[in-house]
A and B are shown apart, each in its own frame.
Chain A
Amino acid sequence: MLRFWLIKLLRTVVTLWLVVTFAFIVLRTSGDPVVALLGADARPDEVEYFRRLWGLDQPLIVQYLNYIVQMATGQFGMSLRDHRAVIDIIAERLPATVELGLTAFAIAAIIGIPAGIIAALRRGGVLDRLIMTIAVFGFALPNFFLGILMILLFSLTLRILPSSGTGTWQHLVMPSITLATFTAGSLARFTRSSMLEVLEKPYMRAAAAKGASFSRRVLFHAFPNAAIPIVTVIGLNLGQLVAGAIVVETVFAWPGIGRLLVVAVSQRDLAVVQGLVLVIAATMVMANLLVDLLYGLLDPRIREAST
């Protein structure tokens, strides 16, 4: 048990180290880091000051170790555009993204998981086909196009929802549904196949023979067993959600970190880009660690198999 957790923890640390190393390599190979982070129009004395401050006169290995310490402590530098600490800007934008992400995730789970269960129970039937067809559509529909179609329909034609911005719950409706679509589709597909596997297990027949009612068999015997692999898919979907948020926030002018990232990339505000990438990557890696641990907790077989 302890060994299982230690291995997972070690892997997480290695991945975080790789992320920081990746950022360091990109920063150093793409040009002068001082010019990159301060901008080409920085004064020579400023450049000189930061060169010494960041220890760029030191050997590369010392610079690398310093860089790791700086990034680990959240010293991402200053934004070129508004001359504030990157960490403050990110902290300011983060709540909006968390709000959008959690809402989207809740919608995806509430729709996707029951849809998958129903499809599995009605395997091969009309309902199954219908649900799976919708799921495939949800997969293939690019989120930016879905967002635009919703704006055309609900904002410009029916005029019942605001097309951009934030503030009221109406502002949250379209971005969160757009963001949820892909995740709902993948949850539905995965829940279905996971349930189908479980429904054929001998213990399901045993439960039926015992006289357990249909709903009891589905909810208390089948679903908890099917839920175990679903937890992993939820972990994998976090990446999709982050990637989706980058696009969806831009479509709906939602003031979160996704939009911040797109603006920073297009303005080449590199300190902000670097800080955001590290924060997002670290969050995702930690979330995956949590999922892994939860997975091991839910299913003792996993712990045994991976040690």
Chain B
Amino acid sequence: MIRQRPNIIVVLASIILAVAVGVALIGNVFTPHAVTDQALLSRLKPPSWMEGGEAAFPLGTDRIGRDMVARLVAGLQMSLSVALLGTLIGAVFGTTIGFIAAHFRGWVEEILMMVVDFQASLPFILIALTLLAFFGNSMVLFIILMGMFGWETYARLARGVVLSARAQPYARAIVALGANPGRLYLRHVLPNVASALIVQVTLTFPQIILLETSLSFLGLGIQPPNTSLGQILGDGRDYLSTAWWISVWPGLAIFLITLSMSILGDALRDRLDPMLKTRTT
């Protein structure tokens, strides 16, 4: 998978992502309906090009006559922002933990790495379901959960980089010049890990989208009146035989976003990490 110049697939993936973000930002201009507007006379209407469809609802309506376009825009906004927030929290938290472990060494490192190993040994959805069951679902807990996903990867990555950086002359020179640890890590080590962290972000982001949509699909994530792509999909499950569009549109959106992000992540990894490139090709 050597990609020296951006190929057509990577360009396509970027366009899809840009469109998704654009729709989430200004999507409300695409439809005159608010997400909560119910048109009880137009329940379960198919997309407008199909027989029985109405021009006012290009992608159809759901079981209480809400416009699918409006719902998709709202779901997209929620799914993207939750995933973005979760990715950021996980990256910052995990990297900090990794720096702390590498800085203090000794028992601090042992304990932190034990927690890292623990989280890596279980599928995260299991941990998430346990916490949701015991603490009850709330938006705050749910976002914290998304932030807890994948932090252990960042922690391992950051710890490893600090350990190897500290052995390098430049780090010792900076310490000798009198820089405190905070300055050393933030100003000098962090820029050196940045590319590895960015690659990790592109790998974590689609996984968080899948986690959020899975939980919301199961009815255990984003709760009404809020909505997310996964929740709309789960809603449509009961209407598969009469209204396939309720499930298919959000599913398609999730699929395109995760696919594009994975393709971009792969391309980015190939470009930023020549070591990995020679190994996987």
Interface, chain A (partner B; CB < 8 A): 11, 14-15, 18-19, 22-23, 26-27, 30-31, 36, 132, 136-137, 139-145, 148-149, 151-152, 156, 163, 193, 196-197, 239-240, 242-243, 246-247, 250-251, 261-262, 264-266, 268, 270, 273-274, 277, 280-281, 284-285, 288
Tell me which residues from 181 to 216 in chain B have a Cβ below 8 Å from any Cβ of chain A: 206, 210, 213-214
Nearest-CB distance from B44 to chain A (Å)?
A: 15
Cβ of B255 under 8 Å from chain A: yes
Known: A23-B130, A140-B255. A152 touches B219 (CB 8 A): no
Q: Chain A residues with Cβ under 8 A from B225's Cβ?
A: none
A262 nearest CB neighbor, chain B only: B218
A137 and B9 alpha carbons, distance in the complex (Å): 13
Residues of chain B contacted by A261 (CB below 8 angstroms): 129
Q: A136-B266, A152-B240 are in contact. List 6 more A-B contacts (CB 8 A).
A: A142-B254, A148-B240, A152-B244, A246-B126, A262-B218, A274-B130
**CB-CB < 8 A to A22: which residues of B?**
118, 127, 130
Cα-based distance from A246 to B133 in the complex (angstroms): 15
- B237 on interface, CB distance cutoff 8 Å: yes
Interface bracket on B = 35 or more
Contact A26 B279 (CB under 8 A): no
Q: Are A265 and B129 in contact (CB under 8 A)?
A: yes
CB neighbors of A among B109-156 (8 A): 114-115, 117-118, 121-127, 129-136
Instruction: Digitize B213-239: 1 where CB-to-A-CB distance is under 8 Å, 0 elsewhere.
Output: 110011110000000001001100100
Q: What A residues does B248 contact at CB under 8 A?
A: 148-149, 152
22 intermolecular pairs with C-beta atoms under 8 Å apart: A15-B121, A30-B134, A132-B1, A136-B266, A144-B230, A144-B233, A145-B247, A148-B251, A151-B240, A156-B241, A193-B281, A242-B126, A243-B123, A243-B124, A246-B125, A262-B129, A265-B133, A268-B136, A273-B129, A277-B126, A280-B126, A281-B126
Which residue in B130, B219, B220 is a CB contact (below 8 Å) of A277? B130
CB of B135 within 8 A of CB of A136, answer no
With A23-B130, A270-B133 already in contact, the answer to whether A262 and B213 are too (CB < 8 A) is no
B218 contacts across to A, CB distance below 8 A: 246-247, 250, 262, 266
Which of B17-25, B64-72, B86-94, B257-265 contacts its partner?
B257-265
Cβ of B280 within 8 Å of any chain A Cβ, yes or no, is yes
- Nearest CB to that of A31 among chain B residues? B134
Question: Is there an interface contact between B220 and A266, defined as CB atoms closer than 8 Å?
Answer: yes
Task: With both chains docked as a complex, state the minimum distance between the C-beta of A278 and any C-beta of chain B, in angstroms.
Answer: 10
Output the least CB separation between B55 and chain A (Å). 25
Q: Which chain B residues border A239 with CB–CB below 8 Å?
A: 122-123
Q: Which residues of A contact B258 (CB under 8 A)?
A: 140, 142
CB atoms of A264 and B133 under 8 A apart: yes
- Which residues of B come within 8 Å of A, CB atoms? 1, 114-115, 117-118, 121-127, 129-136, 206, 210, 213-214, 217-220, 230, 233-234, 237, 240-241, 244, 247-248, 251-252, 254-255, 258-259, 262-263, 266, 279-281
Set of chain A residues within 8 Å of B220, measured between Cβ atoms = 262, 265-266
Q: Which 7 A-B pairs have the closest CB atoms?
A: A145-B251, A140-B259, A243-B123, A30-B134, A239-B123, A265-B133, A140-B258
Question: Among A27, A250, A284, which residue has the most Cβ atoms of chain B within 10 A?
Answer: A250
Closest chain A residue, CB of each to CB of B242: A156
Nearest CB on B from A29, distance (A): 8
A144–B231 CA distance with the chains assembled, in angstroms = 12
**A36 near B134 (CB under 8 angstroms)?**
yes
Inter-subunit contact B114/A14 (CB<8 Å) = yes
